[in-house]
Amino acid sequence: MASVRERVSKRGERTWQVLYRQGTKQGSKTFSDLGEAERWVARIDLDGINKALAWLVEDERPVGITVAELADQFLARKAREVEDRTLRDYRRDVDNWIIPWFGHREADAVTEADVQKWVDHMSLKLARKSTSDRHALLFAIYRFGRARSRRLVAHNPCEETDLPAVKRTRIKGTTTAEWRAILAASKRRESPAHDLILFMGSLGWRWSEAAALAVGDVQDDGRHVWVDVTRVFRMIEHRQVLVVDAAKTHAGFRRTRVTSECATMFRQRIIGRDPNDYVFTNSRGNHWNQNTFLRDTWPTLRKAAGVGDAERKPTPHWLRHMAVANMAKAGIPMHEIQRIIGHDDLATTNKTYGGMVATLSPQGVADLDAVLSGQVPDSEHGLVVAGKVLDSLPDPLLGELE
């Protein structure tokens, strides 16, 4: 295990000494640049001390574009395409996981075996998804460089990597009875969180979307109440920041008609208030703080309602899962659910929640039985039967969301 130690001479010159062990012997190498020292430590971790020492002796120098230079160009392009928050996440992973291992190397000199060693090493320290996400970033960097319009690299060494399997677990959600118990507990305690929890459980909005909702984003046409996503809360450098026009995806900017129970609640909350005011506020009349809500408010109400135990601890995000299950149970088609909860495409909804959604309504099962038993003539297949199935599914804007 190598370590880096800073040294300062009497004249104030700074150097960095890498301490390492080779067999039973202790050794050290001095570098004038901290980055070079850290990259050599990473090489020791990746290839072992003998190969790392051989590399120093050979004084290897990249002759083409380095991985660090390729990553910089990739990030410069992404700066025009993604949110600042996403760009910061990319930069963090590049600096912490890619540059120390590959940054000094010629991009085309990195092999599939090098990438596999890197992934295997990360999998010892990181969760499977985290390892896969960092590999996906390096893959994207190489794909960017390999594009015919750039031709910065000749191949992508990430294409044949054996990634750790991501274990899929069953989606966790509260039951409707548990959600109602939490609502009842919040009403008994006169908690200002009651209406926020009611809304999240009804339509499955994310906490960051619901808590940021402005009075001006609620429209009442006299018959129905609609709400728009125009702003969200983001955690930026450990601070909660309100960000306007920054939904998680393009589909996140959506308009949703609310349930009757929520409509009554919204009408009471927006009367006489400024359009820029927050709809949901805490006991002091300020916007909700995510850390406070998750650490204090939610656990207190959950325990007061007798929901969960030492092994099972529902979170506010479980309300989103419950809402999806309830909408599916009500017969709302998956493509409508996708738009209501703000997924960018239907595949995401199916992949995330498909196991929670029944594939056929009760009437659909009855119609299928009729087809399979020969009770419906072949000429009617795809017309009468399809019509019956469609008629059995309530219009999401006229049924449960009435």
CATH number of 110's domain: 1.10.150.130
- The pLDDT confidence band at residue 391, using thresholds 50, 70 and 90, is very low
* Residues 219, 129 within the same domain: no
* Residues 234, 334 within the same domain: yes
- The pLDDT confidence band at residue 364, using thresholds 50, 70 and 90, is low
* Residues 129, 29 within the same domain: no
Dihedral of alpha carbons 78, 79, 84, 87, sign: positive
What is the tens place of the pLDDT at every residue in 162-185? Answer: 998 766 666 778 889 999 999 999
Does pLDDT of 27 surpass 60? yes
Residue whose entry in the numeric block shows the structure tokens 């040294």? 7
Does pLDDT of 255 surpass 60? yes
Average pLDDT of span 81-106: 90
Average pLDDT of span 88-107: 92
Per the structure, how many domains does the chain have? 4
* Residues 84, 190 within the same domain: no
Average pLDDT of span 220-235: 91
Does pLDDT of 392 surpass 80? no
Whether 218 contacts 279, CB under 8 Å: yes
Q: What pLDDT score does 372 carry? A: 60
Average pLDDT of span 91-95: 94
* Residues 328, 182 within the same domain: yes
Return d(Cα 221, Cα 148) in angstroms, integer.
Answer: 53
* Residues 9, 42 within the same domain: yes
Could you tell me which of 294, 288, 283 has the C-alpha nearest to residue 242? 288
Does pLDDT of 18 surpass 80? yes
CATH number of 221's domain: 1.10.443.10
Question: What 3-state class would DSSP assign to 264?
Answer: helix
What's the whole-model pTM score? 0.61
The per-residue DSSP string of 142-207 comes to: HHHHHSTTT---S--TTTT--PPPPPP-PPP---HHHHHHHHHHHHHTT-TTHHHHHHHHHH---H
Q: What pLDDT score does 164 carry? A: 87
- The pLDDT confidence band at residue 102, using thresholds 50, 70 and 90, is very high
What is the tens place of the pLDDT at every residue in 284-318? Answer: 999 999 999 999 999 999 999 999 888 889 999 99
- Tell me which of 36-40, 242-246, 350-354, 374-378 is least confident: 374-378
In a domain, 203, yes or no: yes
In a domain, 77, yes or no: yes
Tokens of 387: 């019509």
Q: What pLDDT score does 263 carry? A: 93
What distances in angstroms separate CA 160 from CA 87, 90, 111, 164, 351, one per listed residue?
26, 22, 10, 13, 24
Amino acid sitting at position 17: Q
* Residues 224, 196 within the same domain: yes
In terms of average pLDDT, the best of 79-83, 113-117, 367-371 is 113-117
* Residues 185, 308 within the same domain: yes
Range of the domain at 36: 3-58
Q: List for the chain the helix, strand, coil content (%; round to 5).
A: 50, 10, 35
- The pLDDT confidence band at residue 368, using thresholds 50, 70 and 90, is low
Q: Which stretch of DSSP H or E encloses residue 129?
A: helix 128-146
* Residues 334, 369 within the same domain: no
Q: Note the Cα 285 to chain centre separation in Å.
A: 30
- Tell me which of 12-26, 207-221, 249-263 is least confident: 249-263
Q: What pLDDT score does 77 carry? A: 94
Amino acid sitting at position 336: E
Q: What pLDDT score does 82 carry? A: 84
- The pLDDT confidence band at residue 398, using thresholds 50, 70 and 90, is very low
- Tell me which of 25-34, 150-159, 250-259 is least confident: 250-259
Q: Which residues contact 392 (CB under 8 A, 6 or more apart)?
A: 331, 361, 362, 363, 364, 367
In a domain, 198, yes or no: yes
- Tell me which of 83-97, 135-149, 288-302, 353-367 is least confident: 353-367
* Residues 183, 295 within the same domain: yes
Return d(Cα 273, Cα 258) in angstroms, integer.
Answer: 20
User: Higher pLDDT residue, 306 or 389?
Assistant: 306
Which of 11, 27, 58 lies at the terminal end of a domain, its last residue?
58
User: Higher pLDDT residue, 190 or 54?
Assistant: 190
User: Higher pLDDT residue, 31 or 140?
Assistant: 140
- 296: phi then psi, degrees, rounded to nearest 5: -115, -60
